[in-house]
């Protein structure tokens, strides 16, 4: 310890105010801990990337785009004519109100829980629970903590040959701050972030090209989903280039090496959305004798511990980079560091893509189920057979359940279609509870609703579908009944 260094004692320290960090702080306070939460932006940073420049702003833009786009479709069904010119300046004002309200809500929750929120950059300094917090407006603060939860999140990946300039070549962050709609956009990356942003901008009126290095959109999901989505976005006017890699940018043209040779895209804006990198490279982890893996994440077990007194959650821990996963981990980390026997071992973590149509998955795919040793089968029900979907003017998509043929236990589900983001919750609960197909089939669902698709898919699996053709039932005399 440096002479004159007077460390402040902290019971439980949380680093990062995002959906993992602030939930962990509240959970720890509820368990009787005295909690200090440090975020680089202090109270302004509460809610993290998700609330400020991620989940919430992107869904606000998607809602605006969907509303604008639906005007033309509904005009042909008796609705009013087009919505007129999009005013992104007004949108940004409204979005800031939404974000500010959520940020203020988190601030109030932490205050009521007695959490001390501080601004500053954090680094571990000693193996015996020592840390340093620096802030340009205040003297450095040395902390001595009993327990610590790291929830520092992630940032957009920057391509070496396509560095961000904040004007022409931008990340998702700058895209969500646009105050004027670009005439033409190239989106580099056909994963969920690129697809969501590209679809929204296309619906608002931009000419959009999505460039994906692999052979399908949403390459981490079943190929048939990527194919379906690609066909649908083409109907929106989006050009999709798969098996294509960006090689550079001239300042006016994006250079792409496509499957049919090199091409140059004359676009006004380039959105790079090829993934995110965990924020673990400037935490002073060497002081704990801890190093991130090749992917930048910290290795933890089901107790989420990096060391006996330090836990890691959210995007810097293994698993999907999802806000709801981080929040769930926050509860577990707070309990474990407070002496409770808890584990982070969910049966499923639902993933959602707010594309058009929406895509949501939970549990095992058929391939994953077979690899896990299950005699797996699939049952599919098309969205086009849903009365509620038809009243919404929707017919694209399906629900597919994966189940164990020997037991009928639900193993996984995929929903592609309107409100898939909401509908996946029932499937996730069924998987978490190891529900049987009979449980879904025997649950009376309200009509007409989109949720009926769960009931219908279960009936398909059980061999007695109602609203799609199925096998004829045999009579007792061997004839058709």
Q: What is the C-alpha separation between 368 and 9, in angstroms, rounded? A: 47
CB burial string 137-149: b at 16+ within 10 A, e below: eeeebbbbbebbb
Contacts of 334 (CB under 8 A, 6+ apart): 12, 24, 25, 27, 28, 31, 33, 149
> Rounded distance, CA 397 to CA 416, Å?
5
Distance from C-alpha of 386 to C-alpha of 336, rounded to nearest angstrom: 45
Q: Which of 120, 136, 133 is nearest to 17 (CA)?
A: 120
Token reading at 457: 């898919």
Task: Tokens for 51, please give them.
Answer: 């609330």
Tell me if 247 sits within 8 A of 263, measured CB to CB: no
Asked if 188 and 274 count as a contact pair (C-beta separation under 8 A), the reply is: yes
Query: What residues have CB less than 8 Å from 478, skipping those under 6 apart?
Result: none
CA distances from 90 to 20, 59, 442 (A): 31, 16, 48
| DSSP labels, 88-110 | HHHHHHHHHHHHHHHHHHHHHHH
Q: Are 458 and 409 in contact (CB under 8 A)?
A: no
The catalytically annotated residue of 67, 75, 340, 447 is 447
* Distance in Å from the first CA to the final CA of the chain: 86
Task: Note the helical H segments in 372-451.
Answer: 387-391, 420-432, 437-441
Contact of 22 with 30, CB cutoff 8 Å? no
CA 360 to chain CA mean position, Å: 10
Q: CB–CB of 123/283 below 8 Å?
A: yes
Q: Give which of 176, 170, 201, 156 is closest to 51, Cα–Cα.
A: 176
Active site residue 455: no
Chain CA centroid to CA 73, Å: 28
Is residue 26 within 8 A of residue 161, CB to CB? The reply is no
| DSSP 8-state code for residue 426 | H
Rounded distance between C-alpha atoms, residue 446 and residue 401, angstroms = 20
Residues acting as catalytic residues: 447
């Amino acid at each position: 310890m440096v002479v004159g260094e007077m460390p402040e004692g902290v019971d439980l320290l949380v680093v990062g105010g995002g959906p993992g960090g602030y939930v962990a702080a509240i959970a720890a306070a509820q368990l009787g801990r005295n909690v200090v939460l440090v975020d680089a932006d202090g109270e302004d940073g509460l809610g993290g990337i998700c609330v400020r420049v991620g989940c919430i702003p992107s869904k606000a833009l998607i809602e605006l785009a969907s509303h604008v786009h639906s005007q033309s479709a509904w005009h042909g069904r008796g609705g009013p004519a087009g919505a007129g010119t999009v005013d992104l300046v007004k949108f940004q004002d409204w979005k800031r109100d939404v974000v500010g309200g959520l940020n203020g809500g988190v601030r109030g929750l932490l205050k009521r829980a007695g959490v001390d929120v501080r601004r500053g950059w954090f680094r571990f300094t000693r193996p015996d629970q020592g840390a340093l917090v620096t802030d340009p407006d205040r003297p450095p603060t040395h902390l001595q903590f009993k327990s610590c939860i790291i929830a520092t999140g992630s940032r957009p990946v920057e391509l070496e040959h396509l560095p961000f300039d904040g004007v022409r070549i931008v990340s998702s962050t700058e895209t969500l701050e646009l105050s004027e709609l670009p005439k033409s956009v190239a989106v580099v990356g056909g994963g969920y972030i690129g697809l969501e942003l590209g679809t929204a901008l296309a619906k608002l009126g931009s000419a959009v090209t999505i460039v994906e290095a692999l052979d399908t959109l949403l390459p981490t999901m079943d190929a048939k989903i990527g194919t379906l989505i690609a066909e649908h976005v083409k109907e929106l006017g989006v050009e999709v280039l798969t098996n294509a890699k960006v090689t550079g940018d001239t300042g006016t043209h994006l250079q792409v090496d496509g499957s049919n040779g090199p091409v140059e895209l004359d676009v006004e804006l380039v959105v790079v959305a090829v993934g995110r990198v965990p924020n673990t490279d400037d935490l002073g982890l060497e002081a704990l004798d801890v190093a991130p893996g090749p992917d930048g994440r910290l290795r933890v077990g089901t107790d989420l511990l990096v060391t006996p007194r330090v836990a890691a959650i959210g995007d810097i821990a293994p698993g999907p980079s999802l806000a709801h996963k981080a929040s769930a981990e926050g509860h577990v980390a707070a309990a474990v560091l407070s002496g409770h026997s808890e584990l982070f071992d969910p049966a499923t973590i639902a993933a959602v893509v707010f594309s058009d149509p929406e895509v949501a998955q939970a549990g095992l795919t058929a391939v994953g189920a077979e690899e896990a040793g299950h005699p797996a089968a699939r049952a599919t029900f098309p969205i086009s057979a849903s009365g509620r979907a038809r009243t919404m003017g929707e017919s694209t998509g399906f629900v597919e359940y994966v189940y164990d043929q020997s037991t009928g236990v639900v193993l996984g589900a995929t929903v592609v279609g309107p409100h898939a983001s909401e509908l996946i919750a029932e499937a996730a609960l069924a998987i978490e509870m190891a529900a049987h197909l009979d449980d879904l089939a025997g649950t009376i669902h309200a009509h007409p609703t989109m949720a009926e698709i769960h009931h219908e898919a279960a009936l398909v699996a059980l061999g007695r579908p109602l609203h799609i053709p199925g096998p004829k039932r045999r009579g007792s005399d061997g004839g058709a009944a």
